[in-house]
Chains A and B, each alone.
Chain A
Amino acid sequence: MEGFLQLILTLDMSIRLSVVLLLACLAGLFSERAGIVDIGLEGKMLIAAFFAAAVSFETGSAWMGVLAAMAASLAFSMIHAIASITYRGNQLISGVAVNFLASGLTVVIGNAWYRKGGQTPTLAGDARFREITLPFADALRDVPVLGPIYSDLISGQNALVYIAFAIVPLSWWILYRTRFGLRLRAVGENPASVDTAGISVVRMRYSALVITGILCGLAGAYLSTAQAAGFGREMTAGRGYIALAALIFAKWRPWYALGATLLFGLLEAISNLYPNIDVFGIFTIPVQFTQALPYILTVVILAGFIGKAIPPKAGGEPYVKEE
């Protein structure tokens, strides 16, 4: 029983840590499926996290924070869109610029507003997302096995967690069951054919980056108003890049993205809860290895040693309309 509760605790932490990765990964999915490589997920999440915390603090409402986060992230996504779609600039360079801009602006604005070295004031009450207790969670706690799973794992998460998990089937439905999704995927594989069919490549790609912006906004808001109680400088700490890794791991598919981000969340939870793992007293797995494992796994997958990850064909190339 002791071990089982420990497992529930680890899984609960994995879920909490994987939500940011999941939202960012889905954000990257829409952009890359439309043929726009986005290494600026990190920056968009960071600026979103800042504005979520600042606006939640000022208004006292976490939901207002979410709206602000989406707006900020959307603005950054549009910088990327203008640079890489309208002006056909290098998408990687634009992404790097977005990340730098967010790193700098969050601290500059944060310090100008709150004079706390870039931090926002601590959030309390309705300015944060709090845990929601699902019906019968308390009553069912004592049921063996299923009780703790329902009461401690499924129940007791905050609203953004449930929203994030709901976005997975929604993304799948949009991408594979709607005309918009079909066109979006086509634009990432063969933009010329989409253009020939009389559909605007530019408009499709802009739409994709709007979705990317909104999802990164949710991810950032989750970081600063649900997972933590306020913004801290560089609080995304490379999660945008892990999300990118998860996207490759997921082979650019929504359900796989859920699996990949849960796995990476689990690895992060393990490295937090059990820093150095002793293997039968023979050797120790150092915490740094567990931390680096998502990146190592991604490189192995990319190298094609275990399965092959094939990115959307037109990814990274600006589309030049034929005259």
Chain B
Amino acid sequence: MERMPKWADVFLVPFINLVLAFLVSGLVVLAIGENPLDAIYYMVKGAVGTTSGLGYTLYYATNYIFTGLAVAVAFQARLFNIGGEGQAAIAGIGVALVMLAFDWPAWWLALPFAIAGAAAFGAAWAFIPAWLQAKRGSHIVITTIMFNFIGAALMGYLLNGVLKNPNTQNAETVAFPKAAALPTAYDILAPLGIPFSKSAPLNISFILALICAWLVWLLIWRTRLGYQIRAFGQSESAARYAGISAVRVTIIAMLISGGLAGLLAINVVMGEQERLIKEFVEGAGFVGIAVALMGRSHPFGIVLAALLFGMLTQGGFELLWEMPGISKEMVLVIQALIILFTGALDNMVRVPVERMFLWLGKGRA
């Protein structure tokens, strides 16, 4: 017998978790002497109130869809890829190498190669931890953490050395060819007569992110490989017994995961900054963990969760202007509480909800 209906599992429990996270966040805001309702109002207004705000919200959401999907694909194989941060950073090098290799005449010509560069470099950075986990039994969580730091050092070395723009003090490359700039929401919507902020960084990568979400859904629930990944994630020993190679599934799942994390570089490096800057990932790799948890590792849930976290990030920046008493780091607190309640404290809500449904079920029978 099922302990509770599917809707309760998919919507009710995450919803209660989310409410708890926001309640505790509200208490933190109260504790520092500010009004939480005002804070919510300004955050929502800042995130979706103008096309500029919306453009930033969806831009951040694009990053979180990529990193959320990356964490989720690994989760499906019961692998915890905490290295999205490093994989995305290294993918930036892949994008930069592609963009600086030619004087690209058009963005649509450059995009497929840039995607290949980003995915290949991101996947390569995930490959070593994956191989070490599969072949040598080194714990993937620790190795991916270590690879985040090694990646940061490598970025620092390259951007202060061979890749550095000699005309500036900053650790960054020269600008990419102007003609290869990705079309922004403004560029796309203006010919249709829809007004949109010219300054917002939202670009065509958002559509790429949605396509990736759909492809991940196809992969996990509609292909043999996806079935193997899920089977391996459910029970390693059963999967082995069914003839599924642990080494193969571990490595392939992590390559896909790293490649997805790497695509973040398309949005940020190619779409917005148009050159490679050292610290461009800005924690999006870690936010992906929260997004995947909240989205229950399902692409549809991940898109929704990414939108929420995009709103939080953008809203947090706006909050800074309206309520200087609250730092934008309040967003980190909210994210932490969402991770805590939907991830680690899930049983705190789930068990009582299950009991409630059991009790209701008994009453009816």
Residue of chain A at shortest CB distance from B132: A303
Q: How far is the CA of A102 from the CA of B330 in the complex (A)?
A: 11
B-chain residues with CB within 8 Å of residue A238 when the two chains form the complex: 149
Question: A303 and B138: CB pair below 8 A?
Answer: yes
The answer, yes or no, to whether A101 is at the interface (CB within 8 Å) is yes
Q: Which residues of B contact A90 (CB under 8 A)?
A: 343-344
A108 touches B146 (CB 8 A): no
Contacts of B132 in A (CB 8 A): 299, 302-303
Assess whether A108 is in contact with B329, with CB atoms less than 8 Å apart: yes
A93/B157 in contact, CB under 8 A: no
Verify if B150 is at the interface (C-beta below 8 Å from A).
yes
Is the contact region of chain A dominated by helix, strand, or loop, or is it mixed?
helix
Chain A residues with CB under 8 A of B339:
93, 96-97, 100
User: How many of chain B's residues have a CB under 8 angstroms from any CB in A?
Assistant: 50
Q: A89-B344, A89-B345 are in contact. Are A108 and B327 (CB under 8 A)?
A: yes
A39 touches B153 (CB 8 A): no
Chain B residues whose CB sits within 8 angstroms of the CB of A296 once the complex forms: 146, 150
Query: Is the Cβ of A92 less than 8 Å from the Cβ of B149?
Result: no
Please classify how large the interface on chain A is, using the bins under 10, 10 to 19, 20 to 34, 35 or more: 35 or more
B184 within 8 Å of A (CB atoms): no
Q: Is the CB of A104 within 8 A of B343?
A: no
Q: Is the beta-carbon distance between B136 and A93 smaller than 8 angstroms?
A: no
Chain A positions within 8 Å of B149 at CB level:
238, 241, 292, 295
Closest chain B residue to A315, Cβ basis? B139
Interface pair A107/B293, CB less than 8 Å apart: no
User: In the assembled complex, how far is the CB of residue B168 from the closest CB belonging to chain A, in whole angstroms?
Assistant: 19
Closest Cβ of chain B to A230, distance in Å, is 17
B28 and A105 within 8 A (CB): yes
**Interface of chain A residues 63 through 116 with chain B (CB within 8 A):** 79, 82-84, 87-94, 96-101, 103-105, 107-109, 111-112
Residue of A94, A288, A289 with highest tally of chain B CB at under 10 A:
A288
**Is A311 an interface residue, CB under 8 A from the partner?**
yes
Given contacts A87-B348, A88-B347, A90-B343, contact A289 B157 (CB under 8 A): yes
Q: List the interface of chain A (C-beta within 8 A of B).
A: 37, 39, 79, 82-84, 87-94, 96-101, 103-105, 107-109, 111-112, 117-118, 238, 241, 244-245, 248, 286, 288-289, 291-292, 295-296, 298-299, 302-304, 311
Known: A245-B146, A295-B149, A295-B153. 9 other contacts (CB 8 A): A88-B347, A89-B343, A96-B339, A97-B340, A101-B340, A295-B146, A296-B146, A298-B142, A299-B150
